[in-house]
Amino acid sequence: MFAKTIVSVFAAVATLTSAANAYKYDRLSRNDSALLVVDIQEGLFQLVHDIEPREYRNNILAFSALGVYFDLPTILTTSAETGPNGPFPPEILADHPKAPYIKRNGEVNAWDNADFRNAVKATGKKQLIVAGITTDVCVTFLSLSLREAGYDVFVVAEASGTFDATTAALSNDRMRDAGVHIMSFFSVACELMRDWRQAPGSVEIAQKWFGKYLPNYAALYNSWVSISNA
**190 in catalytic set:** no
Tally of CA atoms within 13 A in the half-sphere of 31 that contains its CB: 1
H helix or E strand, kind and range, residue 58? helix 53-69
- E-strand stretches of 4-126: 33-38, 74-79, 101-104
- E-strand stretches of the chain: 33-38, 74-79, 101-104, 127-132, 152-156, 181-183
Strands 152-156 and 127-132: parallel
Would you call the peptide bond into 134 cis, given omega within 30 degrees of 0 as the criterion? yes
Residue 211, SS3? Answer: helix
Read off the amino acid at residue 99. Answer: A
Cα–Cα dist 103/165, whole Å: 28
Catalytic residue among 120, 130, 133, 138: 138
Active site residues: 138
